[in-house]
């Protein structure tokens, strides 16, 4: 009797373990970035691997078409975590996933350092006529639950900068992207991806998902247009 009971327990444990295994296999990769340390790669080594990227992101890190992101001057740690997310499948993209899969972790560090070291593009467009994008970016819209973007992306869209007098690591900030001078069509597509739940593979995506959920289509356009002019 004892044996049967024990066997039954063992069998149920095995079944539960199998069910968990199946669930894990079916769950896409999720990256928890809360403890991500700032990364430091070798920019010179990265430059030697950057030729295949130039077709879309430009040899100077400024994109060849406005639907592609500029990489020049972006935070190295942000670029690193995005490439790693494409590699492990937590960020999807038909073009970037196979490219990132072919890179080693060291290649990714070096490429991130290379593109981060290039001078960011100065904004070329003039500020949009409507002040809506600027108001949302700097003040948010409390009634709609929209936080000010500058709180996380910096007053000038160049990311939050750690206090230069502080020696403490600031890992959470280091994974936040710069938006200044980014291409408006690319920014708009990303806001839509957060809203639609197609960019959800990291803990940082969850933050932006909460932001994008409260943005109307018109506000997304106003914000993308404004951020690209910073
Ligand atoms: C054929 C075009 C193409 C090539 C080649 C290409 N990329 Fe991309 N890349 C894209 C597109 C398109 C996206 C935006 C994907 C999306 O919409 O989510 C992107 C996104 C990225 C991002 C995320 C940027 C951000 O702001 O979140 C990084 C980092 C990146 N690419 C790095 C690279 C590197 C490094 C290479 C070379 C090894 C490379 N890419 C080659 C088209 C390309
Ligand atoms: C609480 C912090 C926070 C606030 C507030 C915030 N963001 Fe973000 N944002 C992030 C983080 C973190 C990421 C990186 C997400 C990821 O890794 O995919 C991000 C990513 C983005 C991206 C993708 C950039 C790229 O290169 O792909 C866009 C676009 C963006 N935010 C726009 C906005 C706008 C517009 C607002 C204001 C309405 C805003 N954010 C407010 C934290 C924030």
pLDDT tens, position by position, 100-120:
999 999 999 999 999 999 999
Cα(96) to ligand 1 centroid in Å equals 5
Q: Going by CA atoms, what residue is nearest to atom 29 of ligand 2?
A: 187
Question: Which atom belonging to ligand 1 lies closest to the Cα atom of 49?
Answer: 38
| Closest residue CA from atom 39 of ligand 1 | 53
Give the integer Cα–Cα distance in Å for 181 and 164: 24
Q: Whose CA is nearest to atom 1 of ligand 2?
A: 152
Q: Quick one: pLDDT at residue 135?
A: 97
- The answer to whether residue 85 scores a pLDDT higher than 90 is yes
Band of residue 167 on the pLDDT scale cut at 50, 70, 90: low
**Ligand 1 touching residue 119 (CB < 6 A):** no
For 105, half-sphere exposure in the C-beta direction (CA atoms, 13 angstrom radius) is: 3
- Give the residue-averaged pLDDT of 91-99: 96
- Ligand 1 geometric centre to CA of 184 (Å): 16
User: Would you say the C-alpha torsion 81, 82, 83, 88 has a positive or negative sign?
Assistant: positive
The finding on whether 79 has its CB within 6 A of some atom of ligand 2 is: no
Q: Is the C-beta atom of 109 inside 6 A of ligand 1?
A: no
Give the residue whose CA is nearest to atom 24 of ligand 2: 177
Q: How confident is the model at residue 164 (pLDDT cuts 50, 70, 90)?
A: low
Ligand 2 centre distance from Cα of residue 66 (Å): 18
Does residue 21 register a pLDDT over 70? no
User: Is 60 buried (19+), middle (13-18) or exposed (0-12) by CB count in 10 A?
Assistant: middle
Q: Is the CB of 171 under 6 A from ligand 2?
A: no
Tell me the two tokens of residue 84.
């790693």
| 31-41 tens-digit pLDDT | 999 888 888 89
Q: What are all long-range contacts of 15-20, with beta carbons under 8 Å and residues at least 24 apart?
A: none
Looking up tokens 């295949």, which residue turns up? 52
Does 180 sit in the ligand 2 pocket, CB within 6 Å?
Answer: no
pLDDT band at residue 73, thresholds of 50, 70 and 90?
very high
């Amino acid at each position: 009797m004892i044996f049967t009971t024990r066997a039954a327990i063992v069998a149920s444990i095995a079944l539960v373990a199998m069910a968990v295994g199946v669930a894990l296999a079916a769950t896409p990769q999720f990256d928890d970035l809360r403890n991500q340390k700032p990364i430091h790669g070798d920019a010179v080594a990265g430059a030697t691997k950057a030729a295949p990227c130039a077709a879309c992101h430009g040899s100077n890190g400024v994109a060849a078409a406005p639907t592609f992101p500029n990489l020049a001057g972006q935070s190295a740690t942000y670029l690193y975590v995005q490439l790693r997310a494409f590699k492990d499948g937590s960020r999807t993209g038909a073009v970037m996933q196979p490219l990132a899969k072919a890179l080693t972790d060291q290649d990714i560090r070096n490429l991130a350092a290379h593109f981060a070291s290039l001078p960011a593009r100065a904004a070329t467009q003039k500020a949009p006529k409507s002040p809506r994008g600027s108001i949302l970016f700097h003040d948010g819209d409390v009634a709609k639950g929209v936080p000010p973007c500058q709180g996380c992306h910096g007053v000038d869209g160049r990311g939050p900068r750690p206090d230069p007098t502080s020696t403490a690591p600031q890992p959470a900030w280091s994974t936040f992207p710069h938006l200044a001078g980014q291409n408006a069509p690319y920014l708009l597509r990303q806001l839509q991806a957060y809203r639609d739940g197609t960019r959800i593979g990291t803990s940082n995506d969850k933050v932006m998902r909460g932001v994008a959920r409260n943005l109307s289509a018109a506000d997304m356009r106003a914000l993308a247009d404004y951020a690209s002019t910073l």
